Amino acid sequence: MSAPDIHLYTAATMNGYKPVIFLEEAGVPYDLTFIDFSKREQKAPDYMRLNPNGRIPTIVDRGNGDFPVFESGAILWYLAEKYGQFLPEAPKARSEVLQWLMFQMGGIGPMMGQAMYFQRIAAPNGHEEPFSIKRYVDETRRLLEVLNTRLEGREWLAGDAYSIADMATYPWARAYPWAKVEVSDLPALTAWFDRIDARPAVQKALTIPKAQPQFWDAAADDGAFAAENAARFASDAKKG
């Protein structure tokens, strides 16, 4: 049997789950290399030839001359076009999906990422920065309110169908406990979490390449899990 078209390089993180969710939802074959941050595999020269940013995820499309794609939003877009799924053709509907995809890539991801970094990595490594924490937590909360308002009276972020915009946003927004942001008063957002939580493909995706459910629930504050994550990036935080 020949190798599947898509080879995915990923890890169990918010950006890392996005292409796994797509591939499981689309039901297309793929194979995968787990990138181990503790061994800094994301910075290996061979990997950085595929992803010049030295981060995950990356795909290589064997069915398209070993074409590499990096940046999780571009990966979702590429896969949606290749397989003709989760990105509508009609120009306005397509634009709506891409607007919410960009909102995730330019807002939710970077701001939540910094809220997580300053609380989960910098602070436990001796860099307690209350001003930065407040800035990123407030901005995260504001962006989650934007999502909540958008989801009032609608099932999905764009148009009337589940799309790559939902797939990109869910792994980040759903990890709100890891950013230490409260969402219990945002009912449209939490109902959208429930809808996506219930999808079998998403449930499976969140175990690939390894289950990391602690990001998603109260166990985010489990001492051992938090300490392991702080230690994983301690050398980076100490350079600061």
Ligand X SMILES: N[C@@H](CCC(=O)N[C@@H](CS)C(=O)NCC(=O)O)C(=O)O
Q: Which residues are at the interface with ligand X (CB under 6 A)?
A: 13-16, 37, 42, 55-56, 71-72
Nearer to ligand X, 61 or 155 (CB): 61
In angstroms, give the least distance from the CB of 7 to ligand X. 16
In angstroms, give the least distance from the CB of 3 to ligand X. 23
Find, among 122, 144, 143, the residue nearest to 133 by Cα: 122
One-letter amino acid of 94: R
Judge contact between 140 and 115, C-beta under 8 A.
yes
In angstroms, give the least distance from the CB of 28 to ligand X. 20
Judge contact between 170 and 104, C-beta under 8 A.
no
Q: What is the residue-wise DSSP string for 109-147?
A: HHHHHHHHIIIIIIGGGT---HHHHHHHHHHHHHHHHHH
In angstroms, give the least distance from the CB of 72 to ligand X. 4
Nearer to ligand X, 31 or 236 (CB): 236
What is the arrangement of strands in the sheet containing 6-10, beginning at the earlier edge strand?
Answer: 30-34, 6-10, 58-61, 67-70
Nearer to ligand X, 16 or 159 (CB): 16
Nearer to ligand X, 75 or 87 (CB): 75
Nearer to ligand X, 14 or 220 (CB): 14
In angstroms, give the least distance from the CB of 232 to ligand X. 9
Residue nearest to ligand X (CB): 55
Degrees to nearest 5, angle at CA 43 with 40 and 45: 130
